[in-house]
Amino acid sequence: MSKLLIKNIKGLVGILENNSAPLKGKELGKLETIEDAFLAVEDGRISMYGKMQDLAGITDWSDLEVIDAEGKYVLPAFCDSHSHLVFAKTREEEFVDRIKGLSYEEIGKKGGGILNSARKLADMSEVQLVEDALKRLELIKSTGTGAIEIKSGYGLSTEAELKMLRVIKTLKEKSDVSIKATFLGAHAFPTEYKDNQDGYVDLLINEMLPKIAAENLAEYIDVFCERNYFTAEQTDRILEAGVKAGLKPKIHVNQFSVMGGISVGVKHNAVSVDHLEELSDEDVAVLKNAKTIATALPSCSFFLSIPYTPIRKLIDNNVACALATDYNPGSTPSGNMLFVNSLACIKMKMTPEEAINATTINGAYAMELGDELGSITVGKKANLIITKTMPSLDYLAYSFGENVVERTILS
Ligand code: NIG
Ligand code: FE
């Protein structure tokens, strides 16, 4: 039996017992912490924690690895519930085009953007995609991520979508980061279906979905519900078929416009609706009465210079909120959850406590991993961050751009 003891912890953060749902409203701002603490792990599970003065309870010191965390904080590892981490090439040329005045949407209309990534992915082997994605997983681990959702969506043909999902399946086998897979065939219309959009929706429903379900390649179904992409009606059709095939919805919606997609997501019991940079009062009212989690992606707003999700409005209306990176080559070339914490506080006026809960326990729920991950709870998987020496917990979000993570432990 492998045993680990972390002792002299300056602050053990994110303790949560008897919890079974994402944190909402005032609860989101509560982050239980024990100062001068210890944490014990047995066989990869949290077995005990408490004040250092109560450590005498541990009697069996054989085969015990001990880490001294004096001056350091221990937190649950981040749970990044929205990413496009599998891709073929980065897109710096579009970044420069945007600096010179083109918008993200204009680049997309010209055949750049998602279609650009799809052309590049078609030419890359599965082996190469896995190798590159594994490097990205190591990188995000170094900034504290222990679980991530990864989408397809740069395939846009049956063959290439299946290739992406098989890559994600291999990553699940090869990486110690916990991974959930999402089918995002409805990310953009491929050029050959430009004038036959419903033909592509048919292909997605009648050809792609059955193959994905048969091979058990995805847990979730996603649609980019947005002007110039998929309408609310098309989203409705795709989600209905996805649910029938055993997948649960997690959708891209309200990034640039309000199109009624949030109600469609909620109608199909979406686990989460993501982006929400644009939000109407009706949308807030729909979410208020729903189980669906609202996920904001502040690094995308930062990189594209678009509005930030009005997350205070959502929190104050008792909507469960999570924060994720959206790591992808076009709108968010960063998988850094520490930066997400900083942006949430600086740009969206979340408190550091709210941001940590939204990137840990609520992120876990947005991947249906809330019973397993996202908090310091006896019996949960010991996916942990040990920080560098920090003057206070607030320093984590305050020191934007600094990597305060000394070590990410994944079980
Ligand atoms: O979440 N908005 C749609 N999809 C991604 C970006 C995809 C891309 O530009 O490659 C997003 O921002
Ligand atoms: Fe995205």
Task: Give the tens place of pLDDT for each residue, 331-386.
Answer: 999 999 999 999 999 999 999 999 999 999 999 999 999 999 999 999 999 999 99
pLDDT digits (tens, 9 = 90+) for 220-266: 999 999 999 999 999 999 999 999 999 999 999 999 999 999 999 99
pLDDT at 62: 74
Atom 12 of ligand 1 has which residue's CA nearest to it?
A: 331
The pLDDT > 70 percentage for the chain reads: 99
Whether the CB-CB separation of 255 and 308 falls below 8 Å is answered with: no
Q: Do domains 3-76+375-409 and 78-365 have the same CATH topology?
A: no
Mean pLDDT per 10-residue interval, the chain, length 411 residues: 93 97 98 98 96 80 89 99 98 96 92 96 97 98 99 98 98 98 98 97 98 98 97 98 98 97 98 98 97 98 98 98 98 98 98 99 99 98 98 98 98 94
- For the chain, the domains span 3-76+375-409, 78-365
- Give yes or no for residue 331 CB within 6 A of ligand 1: yes
**CA 194 – ligand 1 centroid, Å:** 19
Distant-in-sequence, close-in-space partners of 84: CB < 8 Å, separation ≥ 6: 150, 151, 153, 154, 184, 326, 327, 328, 329
386-397 pLDDT, tens digit each: 999 999 999 999
Enumerate residues 6+ apart whose C-beta is below 8 A from 218: 152, 165, 181, 182, 183, 212, 247
Residue 114 CB–ligand 1 contact under 6 Å: yes
- Residue pair 335/139 in contact (Cβ under 8 Å)? The answer is yes
Task: From 83, 84, 87, 228, give the residue whose CB has the most ligand 1 atoms within 8 Å, as the site to mutate.
Answer: 84
How many angstroms separate the alpha carbon of residue 328 from the centre of ligand 1? 7
Structure tokens at 35: 């100062």
| 3-class SS of residue 283 | helix
What would the CATH number be for the domain defined by 3-76+375-409? Answer: 2.30.40.10
Q: Does the beta carbon of 76 lie inside 6 Å of ligand 1?
A: no
Rounded-to-integer distance, Cα 229 and Cα 204, Å? 14
Q: Which atom of ligand 1 is nearest to the CA of 87?
A: 10
Burial of 131 (0-12, 13-18, 19+ CB in 10 A): exposed
Distance of CA 350 to the CA centre of its chain: 18
Q: Is residue 327 within 6 Å of ligand 1 at its C-beta?
A: no
Q: Is the CB of 74 under 6 A from ligand 1?
A: no
The CATH homologous superfamily for domain 78-365 is Metal-dependent hydrolases (3.20.20.140)
Q: Is 300 in the pocket of ligand 1 (CB under 6 A)?
A: yes
Helical ranges in 297-336 per DSSP H: 298-304, 311-316
Q: Among residues 165, 158, 170, which one has the least CA distance to residue 127? A: 170
CA of 91 to the centre of ligand 1 (A): 12
Q: How far is the CA of 403 from the centre of ligand 2 (A)?
A: 24
* 302 Cα distance to chain centroid: 17
Q: Is the CB of 252 under 6 A from ligand 1?
A: yes
E-assigned strands of 82-237? 145-151, 178-186, 220-225
Residue nearest to atom 5 of ligand 1 (CA): 331
The per-residue pLDDT for 213 is 97
